[in-house]
Structure 1
């Protein structure tokens, strides 16, 4: 995630967005591609699951409760689509 967000540069490979190779030199570049990152310090919040980290900031709720089932289904579909 730190490479995708531009905090570190990759040793090899490339980042593609919509099939086009892009260069992300810093977080400002990442933001221009709508890539964001939530930094999580272990002492500030409880440990999150992968799902909770992914939906953080864009989570869908109903009556104050997270709709994790819907988010989990979408995440699984994306994981399959992108072979993650």
Structure 2
């Protein structure tokens, strides 16, 4: 069983692994093969704050933003939307 977060950010058990990983403190989600996340994990950082999501939509609904490194297009869209909100 795998522990994933739902759209409200609550953990639940799933027989399927998550398709996206995230950082709880930074509220960032990205691909499981994200170079930035893998570097942090290899240095021993990040692991305690690591979370997983079944899909991207769930990560977004839980309040996480896309990673600029592994999801640059989605990050750009998110950043533009944030800029429009702050106007």
Q: Which has the higher contact order (CA 8 A, sep 6+)?
A: 2
State the TM-score, normalizing by the size of structure 2.
0.28
Q: Based on CA coordinates, which of the two structures has the bigger radius of gyration? A: 1
State the TM-score, normalizing by the size of structure 1.
0.28
Q: Which has the higher helix share?
A: 2
Q: Which has the higher strand share?
A: 2
